[in-house]
């Protein structure tokens, strides 16, 4: 379960989050929608622990563990996964090696046995088969020369492999065509279960047709200003952010 | 400035009656070296590298003789030697140790002390110093058409009870037409010493020499190496130099592409920290048509270290269809590290493709965060990115299938240890 209380955060001394409260119970998928500049990406980076995104007040905890004092890798080992809006290219780093290093680092941090090359290959191939991906993605360098859709698929593969407790999807739908969107959505839906929760951060309602959220929250000016069921996404789509924000004020 | 220079000249006077080979060539080298001494930074080619720390040291002759060190008393650092089962030529303080060596079956090997051949006389100061004082070295011949496999050339060094020593091995490697050899050179040591090797290399027509140089000297040592290679028609000289050790290193590579269709790779990586200084200086002479040369030089610099790359490509008149490429990149892990890069292209032919480039930067924050967000700790993430940065200079290296896995594993382990050291 993710619990955020009164979270304030700033970048370069500029306040972005201004008292954000949010609870995502385990097993649920919540969406955060908001206009540009509302603090959507900041929220995901603050939770994941990116340098430069400074929490100045409040708390954020995953399954009772305080996140804000931990380095990013330890947050990942607790089960936090951030799917990037723009997955980063790593020239010279083989994808298979990267995935195995990441998986083993998390297993080690949790005191579980690591996978050798063969065990890993078996595991990753099984996940890829489930996601209808080809092996060829393993042989390439991480995200180098990948199309936008391939990069997002690689994010989904990482999520499937690392089996997070909480996945944050930061505008994963941006720049995706319908087919790629469906693959990403299928990947998330495949993780759905009593031990998995997700925070889908998006500007548009479209992705929520494929990943149906349990709750929808509206983020504006650094705070959650309204929460509701899946129908709230359609209301936003119909009336626009300005109207919903004005009504909430 | 006279301390090292005078100790070298005095040593020559004392030794010359006992030195092997043509004394006239040695006298000429002595005259050349005596006239200028060690090069100063006033000389253009030495603008970025000062030999001052070396010049202040008086170097003695190593005491160890071919027979007087029990293998059981060899220093602990030889544990760094790969334990794989390959023929090896081992030198201790520049002197051949038959008892520690395993001769190859398919190459003819003797040592310089037995078969001295100096010259042709070269103008460079480092060459002159070596020519004056060379006592030993490897002389390797591979007959035409023979694939001699992989051969290790190991140089172990140590100062003598705290006294700095200097040695000047002279190596000569010759591949006949269509011959092949993979030479893996490893330099290891302890204490203060000067290792000043000269390589004279001939790669015959259609022959292929892979020359892997792993310089892992003592951090108090000086490594001043010169490699002269002549590459024949459709022949390949494929080299990779890894500079990890020594307080001050300068590697001069001078390669002549003398026959049509020849190829030279002068790739390198330097991983330096503290006050280390690493200089990789090359000159590729394209003398014949349709030759290619590639130089990818990667520098990973921490602390107050300084990396230097000077790369010169000369394309002679008539050397059409030349393809020359040069790239120098530096990753600065500290604000106090420095890189100096000087490309020089001199082109006298038409229809030539020559390019060069240089980049300098720090580790990419986005890449680091991406790795860390997947559960990889910061230090490992940095190591992965450093390894990836170096990979491009390594990927061109062709290794013999039989030994490729062990050599690459050894190389990876050295790079990893290098990163551990400079990241500390």
Cβ–Cβ contact B320 with A under 8 A? no
Residue B423 has, within 13 A of its CA and on its CB side, a CA count of 18
Sequence-ordered list of residues with C-beta below 8 angstroms from that of A156, at least 6 positions apart, any chain: A83, A131, A183, A184, A187, A188
Instruction: Give dist(CA B263, CA B208) in Å, integer.
Output: 9
- The pLDDT of residue A204: 86
Sequence-ordered list of residues with C-beta below 8 angstroms from that of B226, at least 6 positions apart, any chain: B122, B124, B126, B127, B130, B197, B198, B199, B251, B252, B253, B254
- Write down the pTM of the prediction: 0.91
Residues of A in contact with B373 (CB under 8 A): 48-50, 72-73, 75-76, 81-82, 84
Residue reference for tokens 């999520």: A159
Residue A218 has pLDDT above 50, yes or no: yes
Task: Report chain B (424 residues): mean pLDDT per 10 consecutive residues.
Answer: 84 90 92 91 94 92 65 68 85 89 91 82 86 94 96 89 89 97 94 96 98 96 97 98 97 97 98 98 97 97 98 96 96 97 94 94 96 97 95 87 90 93 90
Instruction: Give dist(CA B119, CA B330) in Å, integer.
Output: 36
Interfacial A residues in 207-226 facing B (CB < 8 Å): none
Q: Which of B366, B380, B388 sits opposite A92 (nearest CB)?
A: B388
**Residue pLDDT, tens place only, B40-96:** 999 999 999 999 999 999 998 887 664 566 666 666 777 777 777 899 999 988 999
Pairing of strands B165-167, B353-361: unpaired
How far does the CA of residue A80 sit from the closest CA of chain B (Å)? 8
Instruction: Give dist(CA B250, CA B309) in Å, integer.
Output: 10
Residues of A in contact with B370 (CB under 8 A): 84, 87-88, 90
Residue in A with minimal Cα distance to B383: A93
How far does the CA of residue A132 sit from the closest CA of chain B (Å)? 22
Contact, A248 vs A218, CB < 8 A?
A: yes
For residue A168, give the 3-state DSSP assignment.
strand
Contact across the interface for B365 and A92, Cβ inside 8 Å: no
Residue in A with minimal Cα distance to B378: A73
Query: Could you give the C-alpha distances from A83 to A72, A198, A207, in angstroms and in order?
Result: 14, 11, 14
Residue in A with minimal Cα distance to B379: A73
- The pLDDT of residue B1: 43
Instruction: Give dist(CA A209, CA A198) in Å, integer.
Output: 15
For residue A194, give the 3-state DSSP assignment.
coil
For residue A124, give the 3-state DSSP assignment.
helix
Sequence-ordered list of residues with C-beta below 8 angstroms from that of B392, at least 6 positions apart, any chain: A91, A92, B296, B298
Contact, A54 vs A9, CB < 8 A?
A: yes
Q: ipTM score of the complex?
A: 0.96
- The pLDDT of residue B82: 73
In this structure, the number of other CB atoms found within 10 A of the CB of residue B378 comes to 15
- The pLDDT of residue B70: 67
Residues of A in contact with B366 (CB under 8 A): 88
Contact across the interface for B366 and A88, Cβ inside 8 Å: yes
Q: Give the torsion sign (CA, B411, B416, B417, B423).
A: positive
Mean pLDDT (chain A) is 93
Helices (H) and strands (E) in chain A, counts: 9, 12
Residue in A with minimal Cα distance to B384: A93
DSSP A57: E
Cβ–Cβ contact A117 with B under 8 A? no
Q: Which of A50, A77, A84 sits opposite B375 (nearest CB)?
A: A77
Contact across the interface for A102 and B376, Cβ inside 8 Å: yes
Q: Which of B373, B384, B391 sits opposite A48 (nearest CB)?
A: B373
- The pLDDT of residue B75: 67
Instruction: Give dist(CA B341, CA A62) in Å, integer.
Output: 49
Contact, A8 vs A18, CB < 8 A?
A: yes
Sequence-ordered list of residues with C-beta below 8 angstroms from that of A178, at least 6 positions apart, any chain: none
In this structure, the number of other CB atoms found within 10 A of the CB of residue B22 comes to 15
Instruction: Give dist(CA B3, CA B9) in Å, integer.
Output: 10
How far does the CA of residue B207 sit from the closest CA of chain A (Å)? 30
Q: Where are the domains of chain B?
A: 2-63+74-362
Closest CA to B280 of B256, B231, B244, B229: B244
Q: What is the mean pLDDT of residues A118-142?
A: 90
Q: Which of A11, A72, A91, A115 to mutate to test the interface with B (most CBs of B within 10 A)?
A: A72
Structure tokens at B230: 């002549």
In this structure, the number of other CB atoms found within 10 A of the CB of residue B50 comes to 16
Contact, B134 vs B169, CB < 8 A?
A: yes
For residue A197, give the H/E element and its range: strand A197-202
Q: What is the mean pLDDT of residues A173-182?
A: 84
Cβ–Cβ contact B389 with A under 8 A? yes
Residue A112 has, within 13 A of its CA and on its CB side, a CA count of 11
Residues of A in contact with B377 (CB under 8 A): 71, 73, 105
For residue A227, give the 3-state DSSP assignment.
strand
Instruction: Give dist(CA B300, CA B306) in Å, integer.
Output: 10
């Amino acid at each position: 379960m993710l619990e955020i209380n009164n979270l304030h955060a700033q970048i370069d001394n500029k306040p972005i989050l201004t008292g954000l409260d949010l609870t995502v119970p385990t097993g649920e998928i919540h969406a955060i929608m908001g206009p540009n500049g509302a603090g959507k990406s900041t929220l995901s980076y603050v939770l994941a622990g990116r340098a430069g995104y400074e929490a100045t007040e409040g708390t954020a905890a995953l399954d009772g563990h305080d996140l804000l004092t931990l380095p990013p890798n330890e947050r990942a080992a607790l089960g936090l996964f951030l799917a990037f809006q723009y997955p980063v290219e790593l020239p010279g780093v083989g994808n298979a090696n990267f995935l195995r290093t990441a998986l083993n680092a998390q297993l080690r941090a949790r005191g579980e046995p690591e996978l050798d090359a063969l065990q890993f290959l078996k595991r990753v191939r099984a996940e890829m088969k489930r996601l209808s991906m080809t092996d060829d993605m393993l042989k390439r360098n991480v995200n180098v020369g990948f199309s936008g859709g391939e990069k997002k698929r690689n994010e989904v593969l990482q999520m499937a492999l690392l089996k997070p407790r909480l996945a944050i999807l930061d505008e994963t739908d941006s720049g995706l065509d319908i087919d790629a969107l469906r693959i990403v959505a299928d990947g998330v839906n495949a993780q759905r279960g009593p031990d998995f929760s997700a925070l889908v951060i998006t500007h548009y309602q479209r992705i929520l047709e494929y990943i149906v959220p349990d709750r929808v929250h509206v983020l504006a000016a650094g705070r959650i200003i309204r929460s509701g069921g899946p129908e709230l996404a359609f209301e936003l789509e119909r009336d626009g952010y300005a109207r919903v924000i004005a009504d909430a004020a | 400035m006279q301390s090292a220079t005078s100790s070298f000249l005095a040593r020559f006077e004392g030794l010359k009656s006992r030195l092997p080979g043509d004394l006239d060539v040695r006298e000429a080298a002595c005259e050349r070296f005596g006239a200028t001494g060690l090069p100063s930074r006033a000389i253009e080619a030495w603008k970025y590298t000062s030999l001052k720390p070396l010049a202040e040291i008086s170097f003695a002759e190593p005491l160890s003789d071919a027979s007087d060190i029990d293998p059981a008393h060899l220093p602990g650092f030889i544990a760094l030697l790969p334990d794989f089962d390959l023929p090896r030529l081992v030198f201790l303080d520049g002197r051949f140790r038959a008892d520690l060596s395993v001769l190859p079956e398919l190459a003819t090997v003797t040592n310089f002390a037995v078969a001295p051949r100096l010259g042709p006389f070269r103008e460079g100061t480092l060459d002159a110093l070596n020519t004056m004082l060379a006592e030993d070295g490897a002389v390797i011949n591979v007959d035409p058409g023979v694939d001699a496999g992989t051969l290790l050339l190991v140089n172990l060094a140590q100062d003598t009870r705290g006294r700095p020593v200097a040695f000047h091995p002279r190596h000569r490697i010759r591949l006949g037409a269509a011959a092949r050899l993979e030479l893996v050179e490893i330099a290891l040591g302890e204490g203060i010493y000067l290792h000043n090797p000269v390589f004279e290399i001939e790669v015959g027509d259609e022959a292929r020499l892979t020359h892997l140089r792993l310089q892992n000297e003592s951090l108090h040592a000086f490594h001043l190496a010169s490699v002269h290679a002549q590459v024949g028609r459709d022949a390949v000289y494929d080299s990779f130099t890894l500079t990890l050790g020594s307080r001050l290193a300068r590697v001069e590579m001078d390669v002549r592409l003398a026959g049509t269709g020849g190829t030279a790779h002068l790739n390198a990586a330097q991983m330096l920290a503290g006050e280390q200084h690493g200089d990789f200086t090359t000159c590729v002479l394209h003398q014949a048509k349709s030759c290619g040369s590639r130089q990818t030089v990667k520098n990973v610099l921490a602390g107050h270290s300084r990396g230097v790359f000077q790369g010169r490509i000369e394309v002679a008149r008539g050397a059409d269809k030349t393809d020359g490429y040069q790239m120098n990149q530096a990753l600065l892990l500290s604000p106090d590290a420095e890189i100096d890069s000087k490309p020089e292209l001199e082109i006298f032919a038409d229809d030539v493709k020559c390019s060069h480039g240089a980049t300098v930067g720090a580790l990419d924050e986005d890449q680091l965060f991406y790795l860390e967000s997947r559960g990889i700790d910061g230090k490992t993430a940095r190591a992965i990115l450093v390894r990836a940065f170096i990979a491009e200079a390594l990927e061109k290296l062709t290794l013999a299938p039989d030994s490729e896995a062990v050599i690459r594993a050894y190389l990876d382990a050295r790079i990893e240890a290098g990163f551990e050291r400079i990241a500390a």
